[in-house]
Amino acid sequence: MQITKHEIDSQVLGRAILELSGPFDADFARIERDYVQAHQPYYVVYKAPIEDVATIQHLEDHGFRFVETQLRLTFRLRKPFDTGKTPYLFERVTTEDQLREVLEIAGATFTDDRFLVDPELHDASQISSARYQAYVRQSFLRPNERVHRLVNPATGRTVAFKTHRIVDPEEALMLLGGVHADFKGAGLAPINAYHEFNELIRTGVKRFTTHVSARNYAVMNLEIGGFQYRIKQTFIVLRKIYP
């Protein structure tokens, strides 16, 4: 079993946040004692394939609790998408001023985050907001990640954003995306997505992977029902909080 420390989450929450991965070890009690002694974690997460009921139940026996069902989706980009006559520009964020507008959206737009909905987390709203802003800033700084914004050219206002990571020349991992609270329900989500698809096609990307919470019905309906994303795998996300 592998143990990974999430640097951004750890910084935001002020204590170590760990992720466990790999096959469940029968001597988990020893592993837990070791990582608690080494890291003094606040929060430890394990994403188990939904088929692996034995591992899920073993972790429940050790105090881990369910917080989310997560879907891994894939999509193949075949041809550019028609963005119609919408009066928006989709551009890469390159300045701190542009990033500041995106961070404002990222700090307020998400409502289905597993940290935000966890009833045992104190200050969940502040934690969730800070996490997303930190991950967007990371994408701004990393050479293999991109931050793009959807702009109303008439006002210069950022109305939505997208981030992704280039995994290899033909593949991307979709990260975050959101619409400004003032424009939710105005149909900007598919427009924002189409622009990102076209940007990826322009750079040679042919396929991508993304992850979505199964509680986020709007996104699932858009991506699975509307765009015809393919469900690749389903995970049960379990976590344990330490005093």
CA proximity to 114, closest of 174, 49, 47 = 47
Backbone phi, then psi, for 37, in 5-degree steps? -65, -40
Give the chain's mean pLDDT. 95
Tell me if 18 sits within 8 A of 44, measured CB to CB: yes
Q: For the chain, what is the total number of helices (H) and then of strands (E)?
A: 8, 10
Any idea of the CA torsion for 99, 208, 165, 9, to the nearest 10 degrees?
80
Instruction: Give the pLDDT confidence score for residue 33 in this predicted structure.
Output: 96
Whether residue 208 contacts residue 171, with contact meaning beta carbons closer than 8 Å, is answered with: yes
Q: Tell me: the pLDDT tens digits for 147-196?
A: 999 999 999 999 999 999 999 999 999 999 999 999 988 889 999 999 99
Q: Residue 8 has what pLDDT? A: 95
Question: In this predicted structure, what is the pLDDT of residue 173?
Answer: 98
Cβ partners under 8 Å of residue 111, min gap 6:
none
User: What's the pLDDT at 25?
Assistant: 83
- Per-position b or e across 94-119, b if 16+ CB within 10 A of its CB: eeeebbebbbebbbbbbebbbbbebe
Residue range 83-98: average pLDDT? 93
Residues 6+ apart with CB under 8 A from 184: 109
73-77 average pLDDT score: 98
Q: Which tops the pLDDT comparison, 85 or 57?
A: 57
pTM of the complete model: 0.92
Helix (H) or strand (E) holding 135: helix 124-141
Question: What is the 8-class DSSP label of residue 48?
Answer: E
Instruction: Give the 3-state secondary structure of residue 104.
Output: helix
Instruction: Give the confidence band of 236 by pLDDT, cuts at 50, 70, 90.
Output: very high
Residue 84 has pLDDT above 90, yes or no: no
Name the CATH superfamily for 75-233. Gcn5-related N-acetyltransferase (GNAT) (3.40.630.30)
The segment(s) of the chain belonging to CATH 3.40.630.30 are: 75-233
- Cα–Cα distance list, 139 to 106, 142, 169 (Å): 12, 5, 17
β-bridge mates for residue 173, sequence order: 165, 209
Joined tokens for residue 68: 């989310």
Q: Are the beta carbons of 150 and 192 closer than 8 angstroms? A: yes
pLDDT in tens, 2-53: 999 999 999 999 999 999 999 888 899 999 999 999 999 999 999 999 999 9
pLDDT at residue 35 in the model: 97
